[in-house]
């Protein structure tokens, strides 16, 4: 079990790392070409629209309910394969039907959607530009949501590669499109908008082929409500509401930011930076852990369930706590080297770095949410996370709106981070009340303290090295080398401190990589 969990984590984590690195290249190019200009902000709002509803329809709702139900049928053996295939086809067809209608409606009401996302745009040219880009980009929700369902099929069958590789394809297409538009003298913003649906088609094609090869060839047909789909809808509804609450939190943040010129872009670039460890660790663990817990619970393996949960939490925090420390200690150096070029100015760097540090404080909470939520979803319990999300929404809105009058746009980042910790705390307490199988074991707690100590040592070392290397960051030709020394030095110090303190064993890491290969 542990080797299967590690192998799946390494597969998903490796591809997610590749995707996030390419995503950084994509965002570096957007920053260089557009900076925090009106075109950049209009495109970022337009791109966020299908992504917001994607999380509502796909990752945050349907797959949470779909994966455990599909996994049970798939694990039933050859006799259950036909039932699993029919269930997947029904879900695929129903989702496609709903999203086609939804996309048509969104085209009609796009001005209202943009206003709901960024009412601060209404007094200038950003609004009309965002509406135009939004209409072009919105069909992406159809393709990416279908790709998410197909990815759920692949993940439930233990095939992680194609689903994890799909975002890599997205970023490759974005990078190519920007370069071609730049070389051809075309408008970068318009090129980016048209790239969104094209990339979505490519992603769904990739995972559709992979699912077909796995024995699940899903061809859309006229949807019809079956007892299984009714059950799916009942389970998914609370998760959909929870996803809606999460999107309200994002809406609040964007609304606050839209009243400060450049702030939408600053929060976006900061979000992208902390999403790197969150995506590599939290999403990878969540994708692999949910099917694992579903299998263990169905088999009544309480000890195996606790082992899977504890090792997932341990691996997650061993990687994200030091990442969070780094985001808090050296955010300016990171933003400077990664984004400050072309249209992205030193002022942009300062504001983005501040948001990055605040998001960094919340990083361990965001990752633990991914791990702990699997405990609920594996039991087909989507109601409780919804209630926790409601509380988080109130906390986020109160802080983001209330503090914005005193702190400006940065109140949005503060609200997101503190709400994240509140939700994580509630999720943690609720999981512990389910029984021993939903609690972290003694080894987890012992190693957590050591991980924190090793991360603290690394943070102090990074602070000292940043002071020593400050003159090099003032020289454009040496900034990359200085950041490389900081990053590699921090990794080495954390690895040594962690090994000495017993936060982890390098032999365990090597073993996991060998299993993941």
Q: Dump pLDDT digits (tens) for 128-186.
A: 999 999 999 999 999 988 988 888 888 777 776 777 788 888 899 999 999 899 888 88
Rounded to 5 degrees, φ, ψ at 483 are: -65, -35
> 159 lies in a domain?
yes
Q: CA–CA separation, 170 vs 26, rounded Å?
A: 10
Q: CA–CA separation, 15 vs 1, rounded Å?
A: 21
**The pair of three-digit structure tokens given for residue 240, joined into one six-digit string:** 């959909």
What does the pLDDT read at residue 284? 61
> 272 lies in a domain?
no
Helix 302-329 to helix 331-339 angle (10° resolution) is 80
Q: Give yes or no for a contact between 289 and 312, defined as CB atoms under 8 angstroms apart.
A: yes
> 111 lies in a domain?
yes
> 305 lies in a domain?
no
What does the pLDDT read at residue 226? 81
> 292 lies in a domain?
no
What does the pLDDT read at residue 239? 67
Half-sphere exposure at residue 299, Cβ-oriented, CA atoms within 13 angstroms: 15
Q: How many domains does the chain fold into?
A: 1
> 41 lies in a domain?
yes
Domain that holds residue 84: 37-224
Q: What is the DSSP string of 99-157?
A: HHHHHHHHHHTHHHHHHHH-GGGGGSTHHHHHHHHHHHHTTHHHHHHHHHHHHHHHHHT
What does the pLDDT read at residue 362? 92
Would you give the end-to-end CA distance of the chain in angstroms? 16
> 153 lies in a domain?
yes
Q: Dump pLDDT digits (tens) for 202-230.
A: 999 998 998 888 888 888 888 778 887 88
Half-sphere exposure at residue 384, Cβ-oriented, CA atoms within 13 angstroms: 20
Q: What is the DSSP string of 474-504?
A: TSGGGHHHHHHHHHHHHHHHHHHHHHHHTS-
> 367 lies in a domain?
no
Q: Which ranges of the chain have pLDDT less than 70?
A: 1-14, 16, 55-64, 75-80, 160, 239-247, 279-300, 506-517
**The pair of three-digit structure tokens given for residue 7, joined into one six-digit string:** 């192998």
């Amino acid at each position: 079990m542990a080797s299967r969990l590690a192998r799946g984590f390494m597969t998903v984590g490796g591809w997610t790392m590749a995707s996030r690195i390419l995503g950084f290249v994509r965002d570096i190019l957007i920053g260089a070409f557009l900076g925090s200009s009106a075109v950049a902000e209009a495109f970022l709002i337009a791109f966020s629209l299908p992504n917001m509803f994607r999380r509502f329809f796909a990752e945050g709702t349907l797959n949470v309910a779909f994966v455990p139900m599909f996994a049970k049928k798939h694990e039933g053996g050859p006799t259950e394969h036909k039932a699993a295939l029919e269930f997947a086809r029904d879900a695929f067809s129903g989702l496609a039907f709903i999203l086609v209608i939804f996309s048509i409606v969104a085209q009609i009401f796009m001005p209202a959607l943009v206003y709901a996302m960024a009412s601060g745009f209404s007094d200038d040219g950003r609004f009309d530009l965002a509406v135009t880009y939004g209409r072009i980009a919105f069909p992406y929700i159809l393709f990416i949501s279908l790709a998410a369902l197909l990815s759920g099929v692949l993940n439930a069958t233990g095939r992680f590669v194609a689903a994890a590789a799909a975002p890599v394809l997205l970023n490759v297409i974005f990078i190519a499109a920007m370069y071609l538009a730049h070389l051809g003298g075309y408008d970068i913003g318009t090129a980016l908008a048209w790239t969104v649906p094209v990339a979505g088609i490519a992603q769904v094609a990739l995972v559709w082929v992979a699912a077909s090869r796995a024995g699940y060839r899903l061809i859309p047909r006229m949807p019809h409500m079956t007892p299984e789909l009714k059950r799916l809808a009942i389970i998914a509804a609370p998760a959909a509401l929870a996803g809606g609450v999460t999107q309200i939190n994002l809406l609040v943040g964007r609304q606050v930011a839209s009243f400060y010129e450049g702030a939408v872009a600053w929060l976006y670039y900061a979000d992208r930076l902390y999403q790197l460890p969150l995506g590599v660790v939290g999403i990878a663990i969540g994708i692999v852990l949910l099917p694992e817990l579903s299998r263990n619970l169905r088999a009544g393996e309480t000890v195996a369930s606790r082992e899977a949960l504890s090792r997932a939490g341990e691996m997650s925090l061993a990687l994200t706590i030091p990442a969070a420390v780094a985001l808090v200690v050296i955010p300016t150096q990171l933003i400077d080297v990664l984004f400050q070029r072309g249209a992205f100015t030193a002022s942009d760097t300062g504001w983005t770095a501040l948001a990055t540090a605040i998001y960094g404080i919340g990083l361990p909470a965001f990752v633990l949410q991914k791990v702990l939520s699997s405990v609920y979803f594996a039991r087909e319990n989507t109601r409780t996370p919804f209630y926790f999300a409601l509380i988080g929404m109130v906390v986020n809105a109160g802080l983001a709106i209330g503090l914005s009058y005193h702190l400006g746009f940065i109140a949005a980042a503060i609200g997101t981070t503190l709400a994240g910790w509140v939700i994580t705390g509630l999720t943690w307490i609720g999981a512990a009340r389910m029984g021993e199988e939903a609690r972290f074991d003694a080894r987890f707690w012992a190693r957590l303290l050591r991980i924190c100590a090793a991360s603290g040592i690394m943070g102090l070392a990074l602070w000292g090295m940043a002071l020593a290397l400050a003159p090099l960051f003032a020289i454009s030709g040496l900034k990359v080398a200085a950041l490389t020394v900081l990053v590699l030095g921090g990794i080495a110090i954390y690895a040594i401190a962690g090994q000495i303190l017993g936060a982890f064993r390098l032999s365990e890491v090597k073993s996991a990589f060998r299993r993941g290969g």
